[in-house]
Protein backbone atom coordinates (compact mmCIF):
# COMPACT_ATOMS: atom_id res chain seq x y z
CA UNK A 1 0.00 0.00 0.00
CA UNK A 2 1.76 3.09 -1.26
CA UNK A 3 0.76 5.98 0.93
CA UNK A 4 2.83 8.61 -0.87
CA UNK A 5 2.69 8.73 -4.65
CA UNK A 6 4.59 10.62 -7.26
CA UNK A 7 2.79 9.74 -10.45
CA UNK A 8 5.22 11.40 -12.84
CA UNK A 9 8.42 9.38 -13.03
CA UNK A 10 10.13 12.08 -15.07
CA UNK A 11 9.87 15.73 -16.04
CA UNK A 12 11.83 17.74 -18.56
CA UNK A 13 11.95 21.54 -18.34
CA UNK A 14 13.85 24.24 -20.12
CA UNK A 15 16.31 26.32 -18.13
CA UNK A 16 14.70 29.47 -16.74
CA UNK A 17 11.19 28.01 -16.76
CA UNK A 18 9.19 26.74 -13.82
CA UNK A 19 9.41 23.10 -12.72
CA UNK A 20 6.39 21.71 -10.92
CA UNK A 21 6.70 18.36 -9.19
CA UNK A 22 3.61 16.77 -7.72
CA UNK A 23 2.95 14.42 -4.85
CA UNK A 24 -0.24 12.81 -3.52
CA UNK A 25 -0.80 11.06 -0.24
CA UNK A 26 -3.55 8.89 1.16
CA UNK A 27 -3.01 8.93 4.92
CA UNK A 28 -4.88 11.83 6.53
CA UNK A 29 -2.72 11.44 9.64
CA UNK A 30 0.31 12.82 7.82
CA UNK A 31 1.05 16.31 9.10
CA UNK A 32 4.56 17.02 7.94
CA UNK A 33 5.92 16.83 4.43
CA UNK A 34 9.40 17.09 3.02
CA UNK A 35 11.10 17.19 -0.34
CA UNK A 36 14.46 15.59 -0.88
CA UNK A 37 16.74 15.87 -3.87
CA UNK A 38 19.02 13.06 -4.96
CA UNK A 39 21.94 13.03 -7.35
CA UNK A 40 23.25 9.73 -8.77
CA UNK A 41 25.48 7.75 -6.39
CA UNK A 42 24.66 10.10 -3.52
CA UNK A 43 22.20 10.01 -0.66
CA UNK A 44 19.06 12.17 -0.66
CA UNK A 45 19.56 15.71 0.61
CA UNK A 46 16.86 17.73 2.32
CA UNK A 47 15.41 20.54 0.25
CA UNK A 48 12.34 22.04 1.89
CA UNK A 49 9.51 21.04 4.21
CA UNK A 50 6.02 22.10 5.21
CA UNK A 51 3.84 21.52 8.22
CA UNK A 52 0.13 20.84 7.83
CA UNK A 53 -0.64 24.10 9.63
CA UNK A 54 0.61 25.95 6.55
CA UNK A 55 -0.32 25.83 2.91
CA UNK A 56 2.86 27.33 1.52
CA UNK A 57 6.52 27.47 2.38
CA UNK A 58 9.13 29.28 0.36
CA UNK A 59 12.92 29.10 0.33
CA UNK A 60 14.64 30.97 -2.44
CA UNK A 61 13.77 29.40 -5.77
CA UNK A 62 11.86 26.57 -4.08
CA UNK A 63 8.25 26.76 -2.93
CA UNK A 64 6.15 23.93 -1.58
CA UNK A 65 2.36 24.13 -1.66
CA UNK A 66 0.11 21.92 0.43
CA UNK A 67 -3.56 21.26 -0.31
CA UNK A 68 -4.80 19.22 2.63
CA UNK A 69 -8.32 18.71 1.33
CA UNK A 70 -6.94 17.21 -1.86
CA UNK A 71 -4.08 15.44 -0.04
CA UNK A 72 -1.74 16.93 -2.55
CA UNK A 73 1.49 18.84 -2.42
CA UNK A 74 3.70 20.29 -5.07
CA UNK A 75 7.20 21.65 -5.35
CA UNK A 76 7.80 24.64 -7.58
CA UNK A 77 11.27 25.53 -8.74
CA UNK A 78 11.61 28.85 -10.47
CA UNK A 79 13.69 29.63 -12.36
CA UNK A 80 14.90 26.11 -13.09
CA UNK A 81 18.62 25.63 -13.53
CA UNK A 82 20.63 22.75 -15.06
CA UNK A 83 22.04 22.00 -11.61
CA UNK A 84 18.51 21.20 -10.46
CA UNK A 85 18.56 18.05 -12.61
CA UNK A 86 18.15 15.23 -10.11
CA UNK A 87 15.56 12.86 -8.67
CA UNK A 88 13.13 14.54 -6.28
CA UNK A 89 11.46 12.55 -3.52
CA UNK A 90 8.42 13.62 -1.61
CA UNK A 91 8.16 12.28 1.96
CA UNK A 92 5.54 12.43 4.70
CA UNK A 93 5.41 11.87 8.42
CA UNK A 94 2.86 12.04 11.22
CA UNK A 95 3.07 13.28 14.77
CA UNK A 96 2.12 9.87 16.19
CA UNK A 97 5.15 8.28 14.51
CA UNK A 98 7.54 11.14 14.02
CA UNK A 99 10.63 9.16 13.11
CA UNK A 100 9.01 7.29 10.27
CA UNK A 101 9.27 9.02 6.89
CA UNK A 102 7.23 7.53 4.06
CA UNK A 103 8.78 8.28 0.71
CA UNK A 104 7.31 8.50 -2.76
CA UNK A 105 9.06 6.79 -5.66
CA UNK A 106 10.62 9.98 -6.97
CA UNK A 107 10.43 12.15 -10.06
CA UNK A 108 13.46 12.58 -12.26
CA UNK A 109 13.80 16.22 -13.27
CA UNK A 110 15.92 17.18 -16.22
CA UNK A 111 16.58 20.84 -16.89
CA UNK A 112 17.96 21.47 -20.34
CA UNK A 113 19.57 24.66 -21.67
Partner 1 sequence: DTAVSQTPKYLVTQMGNDKSIKCEQNLGHDTMYWYKQDSKKFLKIMFSYNNKELIINETVPNRFSPKSPDKAHLNLHINSLELGDSAVYFCASSQGVFRSGGYLSYNEQFFGPGTRLTVL
| Beta-carbon count within 10 A of 75 CB | 23
Q: State the minimum distance, in angstroms, from the CB of residue 16 to partner 1.
A: 28
- Enumerate residues 13-42 that contact partner 1 by CB under 8 A: 31-32, 34, 36, 41-42
Long-range contacts of 65-72 (CB under 8 A, 24+ apart): 66/33, 70/24, 71/24, 71/25, 71/26, 71/28, 72/22, 72/23, 72/24, 72/25
Map the footprint of partner 1 across residues 65-84, applying CB under 8 A: none
Query: From the CB of 113, what's the least distance to partner 1, in Å?
Result: 27
Q: Which of 7, 81, 98, 112 binds partner 1 (CB under 8 A)?
A: 98
Query: Do residues 61 and 109 touch, judged by C-beta distance below 8 A?
Result: no
Contacting residues for 76 by C-beta, under 8 A, at least 6 apart = 18, 19, 20, 62, 63, 64, 65
Residue 98: CB minimum distance to partner 1, A: 4
Exactly one of 1, 60, 69, 99 binds partner 1 (CB under 8 A); that residue is: 99
Positions that interact with partner 1 (CB under 8 A):
31-32, 34, 36, 41-46, 49, 51, 53, 87, 89, 93, 95, 97-101, 103, 105-106
Amino acid sequence: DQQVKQNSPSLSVQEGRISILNCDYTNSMFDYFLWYKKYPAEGPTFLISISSIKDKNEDGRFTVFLNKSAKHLSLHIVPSQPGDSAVYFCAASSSYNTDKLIFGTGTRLQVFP
